[in-house]
């Protein structure tokens, strides 16, 4: 697709978020820049605690009490009820405003911890109907019918019987699917899924991913997946952003990231990914600990854990280097004058095997 | 290394929930399996098939509807005395699927992890308590600085690790780990799995490992049970299940493992399974010994059909 013909629905620029803690200010998000286009699927992957959920919640206008947005913008473009094109900066709106005008109807989110987004005292059926009644003024009967359809769509057997149950009466994966049904009930144009399938077995996971794919085709839905499951990313994403310590350190098309990773953190991440043939006595884990964001970060936050780091990586924050195509990398290793460094041998072998496999399929 | 001593013996376990006058959920419906001391038993299967319920019944958060659970040779499925309960709490720990719902929001991490230690007076001084807690926190990749924070100030994966630290600090004999690594990034998953293996080697901990990530289950487990709809439909060594799966549900499950290779993923075909469509009724089946280790739930007709190809 040509760049100009694509319609941008979300544009995050230089987002900067911190938290007040008893030990000082923690700089959780340090200059995130990301675009989302209509109908596109992007995946955000990265270290636990790197700021994926905080970024996603900021898009929904959700803030913790001790949270500050210190700079940057989140521009959201949509067509309103009268057919006018509107663009809003979500960081400039109050939580209430966002909830009334955007949440649910335009942007919906599936939260990481399903229990915290379900009300334990209301039946799941009512919770799915709520948004439809509020936003679209469905009659009770219509809403009920649609809610049961949705439960069926997300693979819940006996939806009529489940309709009247409370969250604690469901299994972990069923709750997760109820949360997905609630998000889909309001026909959003952007769907943000924070670890949507962690509690699902692979067959139901495949079903949910296909359901979302179908909706995308039908309604041009744009989707952001936040997930640790690199198998899921490989199946659904057009575009991948890799986060580390509050910044995006590498982004590109899914093929660029999986077959030609450039940032040493991405190397570590792909190296840690187990597959069915893994049988080493220990799994590979990236050595060292994440950097403490209570301190000011000089240079690349990953430098201390990066055996390939250049002196400059410790001193100066690397810019995003354009390494061709859609591929961008924040590491001084990608500077045109930097010494050539190869990825770890074991990862090279892993990627070569993936490419061989693809080739074999191509010849069939 | 797994020994030949059976640590946990589950026989004909049933756990039903009556949710209304007309509706009873048979969450776990007559399952049997053994776990050997020092091994890892992987429990996989469909969402809602009864895996967490099995775990929760074993650690006696529920009163089992029927069947027997023998732990270290003692029956624990019936009424327990206070001492027996305390003993159970001491030797069995569970890491829960939903970390937020089981972490006390008003306590600091250091005290959450220390709860078990406090209850069993498992230290001789405040300093020793702190040292024990910080050491396990560091092992799961959290820092001393984070120990004074509250659960809501953590990311999803960090919370999960608090739950893991809380269970492991007690050095129990059996750990029931319910989806304990699914919220973690792959590098920290690797770190936690390595830690679980180290503790297994050092102290002979036994794990009941409930998870959806089949590559990880394959990597970590000695034996595997596959659950569907409240029944264990197939069980065996990891080799049995992955190299010669017989039950169509197991085959369907294995075929759906996501392919971490984006271009190859486009060619992948899933095997469809629907018990109703195939006319499979688990309550009609019996457990067949395909080999000494490999068991299959099937009727006579199903058994000969499913095993014929092998
Ligand atoms: N209210 C808060 N107060 C203090 N720190 C917070 C708060 N909320 C989040 N954080 C911190 O911000 C960082 C980013 O958190 P976030 O939830 O975005 O991580 P994540 O990338 O989603 O991780 P995971 O994969 O584990 O869910 C973490 O280090 C977390 O501890
Ligand atoms: N307290 C309860 N009351 C009523 N029904 C329950 C209760 N707990 C569980 N169930 C039901 O028991 C069945 C099995 O649930 P369980 O949580 O054991 O599944 P699971 O295999 O762990 O699934 P998942 O992989 O989704 O976590 C489900 O149908 C669920 O709705
Ligand atoms: Mg998160
Ligand atoms: Mg469960």
pLDDT for residue A2 is more than 50? no
User: Helices H, strands E: what count in chain A?
Assistant: 13, 12
Does A13 fall in a domain? no
The pLDDT score that the predictor gives to residue A364 is 66
Q: For residue B46, give the nearest of A46, A170, A201 by CB distance.
A: A201
Strand ranges in B120-260 using DSSP code E only, listed in sequence order: 174-178, 206-210, 223-228, 231-237
Residue B64 DSSP code: -
Q: Is the pLDDT of residue A5 over 90?
A: no
Please report whether residue A344 resides in a domain.
yes
- Is some CB atom of chain A closer than 8 A to the CB atom of B267? yes
For the sheet with A321-322, list strands across it.
A107-110, A190-194, A222-226, A41-46, A239-244, A247-253, A328-329, A321-322
Give the count of beta carbons closer than 10 Å to the beta carbon of residue A335: 13
Tell me the per-residue pLDDT of A145-199, one tens digit each, with 9 for 90 and over.
999 999 999 989 899 999 999 999 999 889 989 999 999 998 899 999 998 888 8
On whether the CB atoms of residues B5 and B27 are closer than 8 A, the answer is no
Q: Higher-confidence residue: A111 or B43?
A: B43
In a domain, A21, yes or no: no
Angle separating helix axes B156-168 and B126-139, nearest 10 degrees = 130
How far, in Å, are A26, A113, B231 from residue B100 at the CA level?
Answer: 22, 7, 29
**For the segment B94-136, what is each residue's pLDDT rounded down to a tens digit?**
998 776 667 788 899 999 999 888 988 889 999 999 999 999 9
Q: Which of B187, B209, B241 is best to mutate for the A interface (most A CBs within 10 A)?
A: B187
Nearest protein Cα to ligand 2, atom 8: A169
Structure tokens at B147: 């120990």
Q: Following DSSP, what letter does each residue of A189-212 receive, concatenated? A: SEEEEESTTTTS-HHHHHHHHHHH
Burial class (CB in 10 A: 0-12, 13-18, 19+), B118: exposed
Interface predicted TM-score (ipTM): 0.86
Give me the number of domains chain A comprises: 1
Task: Give chain A's largest Cα–Cα span.
Answer: 67
Question: A43 CB near a chain B CB, below 8 Å?
Answer: no
Query: How many C-beta atoms lie closer than 10 Å to residue B185's C-beta?
Result: 26
Out of A30, A47, A54, A242, give the residue to mutate to test ligand 1, the one with the largest number of ligand atoms within 8 Å of its CB: A54
For residue B259, give Cα distances in angstroms to A235, B181, B286: 7, 19, 34
- How does pLDDT run across B1-42, given as a tens digit for each residue? 567 899 999 999 999 999 888 889 999 999 999 999 999 999
Q: Which of B49, B158, B186 sits opposite A49 (nearest CB)?
A: B158
CA distance B91 to B222: 21
pLDDT at A166: 94
- A292 — contact with chain B (CB < 8 Å)? yes
Which residues are B225's β-sheet partners? B43, B235
The reply to whether A228 touches chain B by the CB within 8 Å rule is: yes
DSSP assignments along A161-172, one per residue: HHHT--GGGS-H
Residue found by looking up tokens 């013909």 in the block: A5
DSSP A103: B
Please name which of B191, B182, B162, B156 lies closest in space to residue A50, comparing C-alpha atoms: B156
Angle between helices A202-219 and B248-255 (to 10 degrees): 50
A290 in a structural domain: yes
- Distance between CA B65 and CA B77 in Å, rounded? 9
A47 touches chain B (CB under 8 A): yes
For B178-201, the pLDDT digits (tens) are 988 887 888 888 888 988 898 899
For residue B166, the distance in angstroms to the closest alpha carbon of chain A comes to 19
Q: What is the pLDDT of residue A22?
A: 85
Provide the shortest C-alpha distance from residue A316 to chain B (in Å): 26
pLDDT reading at B90 higher than 70:
yes
State the average pLDDT for chain A.
91
Q: Please compute the mean of the pLDDT values over residues A98-121 and round it to a whole number.
A: 87
pLDDT score, position B199:
85
Please, which residues 9-48 of chain B have a Cβ atom closer than 8 Å to chain A?
Answer: 17, 19, 23, 25, 44-48
Q: What is the pLDDT of residues B228-244, one digit of tens each?
A: 999 999 999 999 999 99
Closest-CA residue of chain A to B17: A169
pLDDT, chain B, mean: 91
What is the per-residue pLDDT across B45-57, written as a single tens digit (0 to 9) for each?
Answer: 999 999 999 999 9
Residue A4 has pLDDT above 60, yes or no: no
Query: What number does the ligand 2 atom closest to the CA of B212 have?
Result: 25
Residue B266's pLDDT band (cuts 50, 70, 90):
confident
Q: Which range, of A34-38, B101-105, B209-213, averages the lowest pLDDT?
A: B101-105
Residues ≥6 apart with Cβ < 8 Å to A117: A111, A179, A182
- In 3-state terms, what secondary structure has residue A271? helix
| Measured CA angle at B213 (ends B57, B263), to 5 deg | 160
Q: Assess whether the C-beta atom of A319 lies below 6 angstroms from ligand 2.
A: no
CA distance A305 to chain B (A): 13
CB contact under 8 A, B47 and A116: no
Q: Is B252 on the interface with A (CB under 8 A)?
A: yes
* Mean pLDDT of the A271-293 span: 85
For chain B, how many residues are written?
310
Task: Name the CATH architecture for the domain at B6-309.
Answer: 3-Layer(aba) Sandwich (3.40)
pLDDT of residue B1: 52
Nearest-CA neighbor of B247 among B186, B189, B294, B207? B294
Average pLDDT (A301-308) is: 93
A294 domain residue, yes or no: yes
Four-residue CA torsion sign, A18, A21, A25, A28? negative
For residue B283, what pLDDT is reported? 95
Question: Helix A124-136 and helix A172-185: axis angle, to 10°?
Answer: 10
Whole-number Å distance between alpha carbons of B192 and B175: 14
Domain of residue A290: give its range. Answer: 261-361
Q: Which residue from A49, A276, A294 is facing B218, i.e. has the nearest CB? A: A276
Among residues B53, B275, B213, the alpha carbon closest in space to that of A202 is found at B213
CB–CB of B97 and A172 under 8 A?
A: yes
Q: What is the model's pTM?
A: 0.91
Question: Can you tell me whether residue A25 is helix, strand or coil?
Answer: strand
Of A52, A269, A364, the CB nearest to B187: A269
């Amino acid at each position: 697709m040509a760049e100009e013909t694509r319609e941008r629905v979300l544009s995050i620029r230089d987002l900067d978020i911190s938290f007040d803690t008893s030990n000082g200010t923690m700089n959780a998000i340090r200059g995130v820049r990301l675009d989302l286009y209509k109908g596109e699927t992007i995946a955000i992957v990265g270290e636990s605690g790197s700021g994926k959920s905080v970024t996603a919640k900021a898009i929904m206008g959700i803030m913790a009490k001790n949270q500050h947005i210190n700079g940057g913008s989140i521009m959201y473009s949509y067509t309103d009820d009268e057919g006018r094109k509107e663009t809003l900066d979500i960081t400039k709106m109050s939580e209430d405003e966002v909830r009334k005008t955007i949440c649910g109807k335009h942007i919906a989110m599936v939260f990481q911890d399903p229990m915290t987004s379900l009300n334990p005292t209301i039946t799941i059926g009512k919770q799915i109907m709520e948004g439809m009644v509020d936003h679209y003024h469905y009659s009770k009967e219509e809403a009920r019918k649609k809610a049961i359809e949705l439960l069926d769509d997300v693979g819940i057997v006996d939806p009529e019987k489940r309709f009247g149950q409370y969250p604690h009466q469901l299994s972990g994966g069923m709750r997760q699917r109820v949360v997905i049904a609630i998000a889909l009930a309001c026909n959003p144009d952007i769907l943000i899924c924070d670890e949507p399938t962690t509690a699902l077995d692979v067959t139901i996971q495949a079903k949910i991913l296909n359901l979302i794919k179908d909706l995308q085709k039908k309604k041009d839905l744009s989707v952001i997946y936040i997930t640790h499951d690199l198998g899921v990313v490989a199946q659904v994403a057009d575009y991948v952003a890799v986060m580390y310590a509050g910044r995006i350190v590498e982004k590109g098309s899914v093929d660029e990231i999986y077959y030609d990773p450039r940032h040493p953190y991405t190397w570590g991440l792909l190296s840690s990914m187990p597959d069915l043939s893994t049988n080493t006595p220990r799994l590979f884990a990236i050595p060292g600990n994440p950097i403490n964001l209570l301190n000011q970060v000089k240079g690349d936050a990953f430098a201390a854990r990066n055996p390939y780091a250049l002196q400059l990586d410790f001193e100066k924050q690397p810019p995003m280097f354009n390494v061709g195509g859609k591929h961008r990398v924040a590491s001084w290793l990608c500077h045109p004058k930097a010494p050539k460094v190869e990825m770890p041998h074991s990862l090279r072998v892993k990627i070569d095997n993936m490419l061989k496999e693809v080739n074999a399929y191509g010849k069939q | 290394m797994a020994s030949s001593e059976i640590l946990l013996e589950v026989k004909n376990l049933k756990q039903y929930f009556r949710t209304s006058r007309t509706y009873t959920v048979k969450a776990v419906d007559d399952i049997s399996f053994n776990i050997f001391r020092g091994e890892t038993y992987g429990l996989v299967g469909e969402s809602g098939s009864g895996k967490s319920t099995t775990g929760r019944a074993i650690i006696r958060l529920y009163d089992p509807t029927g069947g027997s659970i023998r732990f270290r040779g003692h029956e624990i499925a019936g009424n327990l005395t206070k001492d027996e309960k305390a003993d159970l709490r001491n030797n069995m720990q569970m890491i829960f699927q939903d970390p937020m719902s089981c972490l006390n929001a008003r306590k600091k991490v250091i005290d959450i992890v220390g709860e078990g230690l406090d209850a069993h007076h498992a230290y001789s001084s405040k300093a020793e308590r702190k040292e024990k807690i910080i050491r396990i926190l560091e092992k799961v990749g959290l820092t001393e600085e984070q120990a004074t924070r509250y659960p809501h100030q953590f990311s999803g994966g960090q919370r999960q690790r608090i739950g893991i630290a809380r269970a492991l600090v007690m050095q129990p004999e059996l750990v029931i780990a319910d989806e304990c690594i699914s919220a973690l990034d792959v590098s920290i998953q690797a770190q936690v799995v390595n830690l679980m293996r180290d503790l297994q080697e050092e102290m002979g901990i036994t794990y009941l490992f409930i998870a959806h990530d089949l590559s990880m289950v394959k990597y970590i487990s000695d034996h595997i049970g596959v659950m569907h709809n409240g029944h264990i439909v197939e069980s065996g060594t990891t080799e049995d299940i992955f190299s010669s799966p017989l039950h169509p549900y197991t085959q369907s499950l294995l075929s759906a493992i996501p392919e971490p290779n984006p271009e190859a993923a486009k060619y992948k075909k899933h095997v469809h399974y629907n018990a109703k469509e195939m006319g499979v009724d688990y309550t009609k089946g019996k457990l067949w010994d395909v080999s000494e280790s490999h068991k299959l739930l099937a009727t006579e007709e199903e058994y000969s059909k499913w095993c014929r190809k092998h």
